[in-house]
């Protein structure tokens, strides 16, 4: 891919990879768990985890995932619930669903081997151009430019690219610059190096410019604009939504879960029965749980998604009589947090369950929650 460069930019482009590779030899990260036995499968799983997650968080998840699913065949043969269970707490659960779907495609259509071309890799669910390029570069040393969030930041600063990287014209220019900077030798080391530079030195806030191996030719350092580039996403206020969740308890700790639809927020995971209003939730308690006691309102919980904020209002109810007869099936199941089953459970839902099972439902429990909330507020 070609890009029009002036003399200063050509100098920057020529000097970028050599300086970066020299730095990586002494300062780059070489002890990450996916760097051992660097197979396309292991690199693919790590790249999917790292799409929205920092290395420190992904490390433990990756190691647990590999112990259970050491190869693509074991992942393809697994039930989605178990995959989501191992992903619980990592967020952005569409990544796990896509990983599972892609594993089955690899086994079915590619003989269990990760696709050998960029186009075939990009055809897998959840694998875009940058992710596909990184997998092939890191695992097979094939030359493919990449442009994840860290690389966008590095190149935007190094070349002084104005504008928000999410804009098509800006993204196109950054792709062209990434292609020009990518060397034809030691591509695996370069790919890791440019990601490491963005993650550890050219960070979003307070970049360590004095430690940067390419600072001598960095455009923003010359003009002291590190805090202005790359340009941030245009600010828009995230809408706020609210929902009502029924925390139906049976016995000392068991809570009724309902499988969520396969798409949308927390798609395919297990959650609490959810309703748009309190009236709908209470009606379901009367009709669906029959002889359940009157529900009591619990402490609300707010959770921020990328495009909106969700305020969750739990209704606590003790199941008796007919409701006790509900049996586990594909839609409902009784969940015991003391002996959790292997299901995908979003972290906010797990927190609501933890709160509910720590206090008895009913007016006394609600009052205790209020006292605890006041106490927590005072201690902050």
Peptide bond into 96 cis (omega under 30): no
- The CA radius of gyration of the chain, in Å to the nearest whole number, is 25
Per-residue b or e along 15-48, where b marks 16 or more CB atoms closer than 10 Å to that residue's CB: ebbebbbebbeeebeeebebeeebebbbbbbbbb
Q: Are 20 and 116 in contact (CB under 8 A)?
A: no
Helix (H) or strand (E) segment spanning residue 285:
helix 278-288
What is the sign of the dihedral through the CA atoms of 323, 327, 330 and 332? positive
CA–CA distance, 150 with 75 (Å, rounded to integer): 29
- 3-class DSSP state of 354: helix
Q: How far, in whole angstroms, is CA 340 from its chain's centroid?
A: 23
Count of C-beta atoms within a 10 Å radius of residue 60: 12
How far is CA 238 from each of CA 243, 303, 312, 348, 354, rounded to the nearest angstrom?
A: 16, 12, 16, 19, 28
Q: Is 314 exposed, middle or buried (0-12, 13-18, 19+ CB in 10 A)?
A: buried
Q: Is 287 a catalytic residue?
A: no
Q: Considering 47, 119, 189, 287, which one is annotated as catalytic?
A: 47
Please identify every residue annotated as catalytic.
47
């Amino acid at each position: 891919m070609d890009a029009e460069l002036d003399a200063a930019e050509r100098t920057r482009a020529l000097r970028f990879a050599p300086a970066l590779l020299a730095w990586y030899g002494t300062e780059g990260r070489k002890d990450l768990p996916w760097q051992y036995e660097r197979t396309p499968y292991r690199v693919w799983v790590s790249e999917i985890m790292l799409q929205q997650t920092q290395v420190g968080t992904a490390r433990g998840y990756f190691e647990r995932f590999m112990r259970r699913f050491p190869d693509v065949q074991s992942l393809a043969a697994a039930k989605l619930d178990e995959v989501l269970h191992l992903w619980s707490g990592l967020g952005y659960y569409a990544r796990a669903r896509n990983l599972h779907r892609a594993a089955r495609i690899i086994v079915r259509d590619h003989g269990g081997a990760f696709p050998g071309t960029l186009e075939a890799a990009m055809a897998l669910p959840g694998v875009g151009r940058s992710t596909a390029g990184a997998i092939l570069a890191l695992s097979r040393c094939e030359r493919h430019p990449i442009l994840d969030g860290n690389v966008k930041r590095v190149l935007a600063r190094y070349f002084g690219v104005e504008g928000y990287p999410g804009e098509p014209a800006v993204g196109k220019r950054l792709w062209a610059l990434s292609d020009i900077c990518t060397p034809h030798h030691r591509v695996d080391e370069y790919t890791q190096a440019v990601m490491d530079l963005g993650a550890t030195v050219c960070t979003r806030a307070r970049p360590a410019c004095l430690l940067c191996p390419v600072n001598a030719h960095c455009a923003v350092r010359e003009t002291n604009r590190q805090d202005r580039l790359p340009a941030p996403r245009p600010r828009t206020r995230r809408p706020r939504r609210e929902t009502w969740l029924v925390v139906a308890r049976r016995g000392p700790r068991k809570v009724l879960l309902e499988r969520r639809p396969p798409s949308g927020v927390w798609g395919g995971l297990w959650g609490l029965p959810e309703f748009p209003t309190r009236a709908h939730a209470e009606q379901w308690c009367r009709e669906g749980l029959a002889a359940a006691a009157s529900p009591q309102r619990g402490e609300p919980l707010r959770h921020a998604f990328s495009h909106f904020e969700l305020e969750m209002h739990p209704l606590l109810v003790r199941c008796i009589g007919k409701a006790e007869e509900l049996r586990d099936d594909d839609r409902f199941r009784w969940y015991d947090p003391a002996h959790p089953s292997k299901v995908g459970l979003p972290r906010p839902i797990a927190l609501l369950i933890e709160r509910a099972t720590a206090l008895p439902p009913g007016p006394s429990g609600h009052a205790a929650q209020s006292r605890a909330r006041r106490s927590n507020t005072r201690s902050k």
